[in-house]
Chains A and B, each alone.
Chain A
Amino acid sequence: MHKKNFDAIILNSIDNVCTSVKQLKKSTEIYIKCENEMVSLFIQENIKLCHKISLKQIKKGENIVKYGEIIGVATSHINKGVQVHTHNIISLRG
């Protein structure tokens, strides 16, 4: 798949979330850039600019990974293609 325009980005291939680069509409297929690859994802919610989206199902208690590093832990079960933010993840340090 070679599509120049993308809707979200991942900086590290082990991440389980991506970040939107534009406002995204629910029930659409979006394109995500990861290094030189492009992957698609069906999203279930409207997503604001710069917000995070789950790339797969994440169980409660599982680490959230961005930049290839742990940024927090899931406080509830997170479905694939939904918003990941303060309502479903929490800091391990703060």
Chain B
Amino acid sequence: MTSKFWGYLRKDGKVGIRNKLLIISITGLTGPTARKISSLIQGSLFIDNPYGGGVIGEDKVRQDNAIIGFAQNPNIGGVLIISADPPMGEFIKIKIKKTLKPVELLTLDECNHDAIKLLELGLRKGASLLKEISKNRREKVSISNLSIGLECGRSDPSSGLIANPIMGVIADKLINLGGSAVIGETIEWLGAEHLLKKRAQNSEVSEKITKAVNFQLSFAKSKSIDLIGNNPGYQNIQSGLSTIEEKSLGNIAKSGTQNIENVISWGEKIRGKGMFLMHAPAYAPESLSGFSSAGCQLTLFSTGVGNSFNNHIAPSIKLSANPEACEKLNEQLDFKCSDVFLGKKSVTSASEELWKLIIEICSGSLTWGEIFNDSFEVFSRIDRSL
């Protein structure tokens, strides 16, 4: 089975599966105009940080890490930074330049705080950047260049029994071939953390897993949150999941069986190869944005009853094993595996088909999420602003 795909080899040695112009507003004041600029430049990706001034401490670190991570993601061919804070803009620009990809900074100050001028200059700069990066061409590269984010949302028992184990087979195979994968959603390790800890590559990583789970659990308790009805949520319960342990055991099935190399924070990059855990919120937009900033180029996203949200930078291959969802959600699901749930096909043969689809998507075929543009990136906060 093939282990090569057609990707964009970047100057820093990383490989993109897409070649997008990113228009990123890094300050809340510039968001609305930057959105207009992006809407006028064909195929550009838009991200806006709705915050800026007054973000301090760990939130500031997470915010800057995420902006830099989004822009450095290998799926991004070039970046237009739009900022109402010139020093912050310069700081971000220097970090992005390390990847040697084309990057331009436009500040509201140099437009005399005139949004109309910002719109004009942004269009000119953005258009030039897109022209430049459109010269990039795909070449045949090894799958070892790939990092995949593994997500599940609106899960039901078919996710844990079938769709997630199929993703686990993919994760194991990718890691055997030299690639990387990451799962997040810390609260959904609860009740399954003993199994993750057994796979930790050393005692330090094992301790990080315990700490991360206990942190989320004590955070929920400190806010008097009962996990039942919250996680598993109303829809999970309605579709058959009864407890967080049941959901977690199904959730971690998508991580396969390889060693856990490390636990990263939201906004932090994957360093090295292999299987990683991301200590992060469980809700899809925050979780998926963590994968984008971590450097993942692709997302595998399983759902039980359906979940239309996708990753903005790292295209999401949406899969389900629920027979009713597979029948009803023809355009949402890129990969249907209800045949496995019904015993008509094996996990092995479905995972071989999914592997082929991954090669196709990495080489340029579109996911439904990309076609409908049902995606954006968000910033995960832990505290308040000044």
**Which A residues form the contact surface with B (CB < 8 A)?**
4-6, 9, 11, 19, 21-22, 33, 48-52, 64, 66-67, 69-72, 84-86, 89-94
Contacts and interface: CB of A to CB of B under 8 A. Distances in A.
Contacts of B191: 69-71, 91-93
A93 B324 CA distance: 31
B230 to A, nearest CB: 9
A86 B242 contact: yes
Task: Indicate the member of B195, B239, B242 with the most A CB atoms within 10 Å.
Answer: B242
Contact of B243 (A6, A9, A71): A71
* 3 closest residue pairs by CB, A with B: A94-B227, A91-B243, A50-B240
B343 A4 contact: yes
Nearest to A72: B243
Contacts of B192: 69
Contacts of A86: 228, 237, 242-243
Given A71-B243, A71-B249, A6 B343 contact: yes
B366 interface: no
Nearest to A85: B242
A76 to B, nearest CB: 14
A70 B194 CA distance: 12
B190 A19 contact: no
A51 B157 CA distance: 7
B246 A72 contact: yes
A50 B324 CA distance: 11
B338 to A, nearest CB: 9
A94 B322 contact: no
A6 B343 CA distance: 8
Contacts of A92: 191, 243, 245
A93 B240 contact: no
B245 A33 contact: no
Contacts of A4: 343
A67 B342 CA distance: 18
B343 A85 contact: no
B240 A70 contact: no
Contact of A19 (B161, B217, B226, B343): B161
Contact of A67 (B243, B249, B323): B249
Given A21-B341, A50-B240, A93 B157 contact: no
A33 B228 contact: no
A88 to B, nearest CB: 9
Given A19-B157, A71-B249, A94 B226 contact: yes
Contact of A84 (B242, B323, B341): B242
A23 to B, nearest CB: 10
Interface in B275-305: 304
A51 B246 CA distance: 12
B161 A11 contact: yes
A66 B240 contact: no
16 contacts: A6-B343, A9-B343, A19-B157, A21-B342, A51-B157, A51-B240, A52-B240, A69-B191, A71-B246, A86-B242, A91-B227, A91-B242, A92-B243, A93-B243, A94-B228, A94-B243
Contacts of B343: 4-6, 9, 21, 33
Contacts of B237: 85-86
B158 interface: yes
A5 B344 CA distance: 9
Nearest to A90: B243
A71 B252 CA distance: 14
A91 B304 contact: no
